[in-house]
Amino acid sequence: MSASTDRKKRQEAIANGTDKKTIAMQEEAAKKKKENRRWTIGGIIVAILIAAILLANSNFFYAKTPAVKVGSTGYSAAQMDFYYRTQYLNFMNQYGSYASMFGLDTSKSLKDQECTMSEDGGTWYDYFMQQAEDYVKQVTAYTKYAEENDIELDEDSLKMIDDQMTSFETEATSEGFSSVDKYLESVYGKGCNSKIIRQEMERVSLASKVIQNVQDSFEYSDDELAKYYNEHKDDYDNYSFAYYLVNAEQEPTASAEDGSSVEEEAAEAETAVTDETMAVAKKHADAIAAAATSTGDLTAAVQAEMGDTTLEAVAQSAVQGSNLPADYADWLKDGSRVAGDKTVVESEGTGYYVVVYGSRDANDYHMASVRHILIQAQADENGEYTEEALATAKATLEGIYQEWQNGDKTEDSFAALAQQYSQDSGSASTGGLYDSVYKGEMVPEFDAWCFDASRKPGDTGIVKGESSGYSGYHLIYYVGQGDLYSKYLAETALVQDSLQKWQDEQTDGFDVKEKFSLKFVQA
């Protein structure tokens, strides 16, 4: 190859970038470009990780991104935390002392515990979350109804919310939190603050007002109420009766040889009723039923047959039909029953009931409207109420009574004293008023005073009252008769039926759609 040809080829190679020097330069440039790209990508990844960490430690996912969407309304994780915690706290307030009986261990994560309350399975977290979602669905639908029907919160409702927010501030201070928002976050979950909590309290309060307005709008004639009660009288009427359960003896279901294992000994301890022991129980029950002539002598018949003077029949009075034991409810509800009727009913795997019929009450009495002032006795360190403590409570109430008598002795002045002195938190704020008291609702002494046949408006009196939760004295002012209890029962049921129909109509189409941020709602 001539020099000119070689030079020509080098020039072409340079022009095409294929000479060794150019190729080396291109490779080096490509390498640097690749490294730069790697560092750039690495920098982006680091930036993303840093951003993720910052977001995780902020309230962004809790307060800014949707956790669920109901119709066109979105709820953040913080808002859902409010509804979730509300459902949980309501449950604990009602059943907290019995939580373990439901299989709920409050010391462990709710996400790791199977829920015994749910028919569909799942954890306790799932159970409370489903309740929260159902509640949010209702609140969304009812507040939309409020907007469409110009329903707003009144000053009293807003003041109640103001008072609650003020109490949060007080609690935050007393418990050492640096701010009320920190306190609310500890109660309701991460991201919850005063703004969110107040917003949801207003939303819930407005939804409650809507329900109350709708409920108050339902009206029924006396004929409609009487017809409804008559159609459901078996479940509404009250029944009085007495019963005794003759238990069948239990016999061992397995026997063990000498030298048996621990497992075999355990098996030996297992017992169950047999056909033979059930037959013996039936024989005793038949004999008791033959001897008994009324609810009052059932105990004597039991003791004579069983040869044990410590045994007693159970007397039941004013048991509503819907609450009767399933084993003999139909027998008691039979319209042909008369006092002294009796029957023997099998309780499968247990024994036989002897039941004696007493009476049936159609609830055609007037309820009572009363005001009262309660002064409780102070329990000692053992939870007992001494005679001295009871005397002190009674003396205090007698002083209040004298104060009322020294005044104008009106219902209004009584109500004012109830607001000032009564220790019944359920009625003090309304002047001690109980507007629709029915038989058996109050403690026996209170109940007997209210339904004394001679009672007339303006009557007053002091009675002792006690239950599992208190012991003390009531000063009662009789306002007058209320509606018939049968009418009240029918109206309550009809209102509930109508309200449920309205609620179903309002929530129809308001499906709850779960979003990514729902995972941040804390158990």
154: nearest Cα among 218, 216, 205? 205
Check if the beta carbon of residue 126 is closer than 8 Å to that of residue 118: yes
- Whole-number pLDDT of residue 426: 87
The average pLDDT across 498-518 equals 92
Unique residue bearing structure tokens 């709710």: 110
Burial class (CB in 10 A: 0-12, 13-18, 19+), 149: exposed
Other CB atoms within 10 A of residue 18 CB: 13
pLDDT in tens, 152-196: 999 999 999 999 999 999 999 999 999 999 999 999 988 899 999
**Residue 252 pairs with which residues in a beta bridge?**
271
Residue 55 binned pLDDT confidence (cut-offs 50, 70, 90): very low
**Whether the predicted pLDDT of 466 surpasses 50:** yes
Check if the beta carbon of residue 104 is closer than 8 Å to that of residue 117: no
For residue 27, give the 3-state DSSP assignment: helix
Percent of the chain at pLDDT exceeding 90: 73
pLDDT higher at 213 or 58: 213
- Whole-number pLDDT of residue 365: 95
Percent of the chain at pLDDT exceeding 70: 85
Question: Can you point out the beta strands (E) in 168-325?
Answer: 238-247, 250-252, 271-273, 314-320
